[in-house]
Amino acid sequence: MPWRTEMDAVSCDGLTLELGGRVVLDGVGLSIAPGEFVGVLGPNGAGKTTLMRAMLGLIAPSRGTISIFGEPVRRGHSAIGYMPQLRSGAAALPLSGWEFVASVCRGQRVGLPVLGRAGRADVERALDLVDALGLARRRISELSGGERQRLLIAQALIGSPRLLLLDEPLASLDPGHAGAIVSLVKRLQLELGVTVLFSAHELNPLLGALDRVLYLGGGQAALGTVEEVITAPILSRLYGTPIEVVRAGGRIFVLAEDGEVADHCSAGHGGHVHA
- The pLDDT of residue 263 is 38
Biggest distance spanned by C-alpha atoms of the chain: 59
pLDDT at 75 over 90: yes
127 belongs to a structural domain = yes
Number of domains in the chain: 1
22 belongs to a structural domain = no
Sign of torsion over alpha carbons 176, 178, 182, 187: positive
Give the total residue count for the chain.
275
- The pLDDT of residue 1 is 40
104 belongs to a structural domain = yes
Taking only the tens place, the pLDDT of each residue in 81-136 is 999 986 666 667 788 999 999 988 865 444 566 778 888 999 999 999 999 999 99
103 belongs to a structural domain = yes
d(CA 223, CA 124): 36
d(CA 216, CA 28): 10
19 belongs to a structural domain = no
Residue 162 DSSP one-character state:
S
Taking only the tens place, the pLDDT of each residue in 33-61 is 999 999 999 988 899 999 999 999 999 99
pLDDT at 233 over 90: yes
136 belongs to a structural domain = yes
Taking only the tens place, the pLDDT of each residue in 138-183 is 999 899 989 999 999 999 999 999 999 999 999 889 999 999 999 9
pLDDT at 231 over 90: yes
d(CA 238, CA 246): 17
Q: How confident is the model at residue 79 (pLDDT cuts 50, 70, 90)?
A: very high
d(CA 131, CA 146): 12
Inter-CA distances, 83 with 14, 56, 68, 158, 274, Å: 26, 11, 17, 11, 24
Nearby residues of 18 by Cβ (< 8 Å), 6 or more positions away: 24, 62
Task: For residue 104, give its domain range.
Answer: 90-159
**Nearest Cα to 241, choosing from 214, 213, 269, 273?**
273
What radius of gyration, in Å, describes the C-alpha atoms of the chain?
19
Burial grade of 249 (CB within 10 A; 0-12, 13-18, 19 or more): exposed
What is the secondary structure of 237-248 as a DSSP string? HHHTS-EEEEEE
For all residues of the chain together, what is the average pLDDT?
88
Burial grade of 115 (CB within 10 A; 0-12, 13-18, 19 or more): middle
pLDDT at 243 over 50: yes
150 belongs to a structural domain = yes
55 belongs to a structural domain = no
**Parallel, antiparallel or unpaired: strands 195-199 and 71-72:** unpaired
Q: Three-class SS of residue 84?
A: coil
Residue 210: alpha-carbon gap to chain centroid:
12
Alpha helices in the chain (DSSP H): 48-55, 97-102, 117-129, 145-157, 175-192, 226-229, 232-239, 259-264
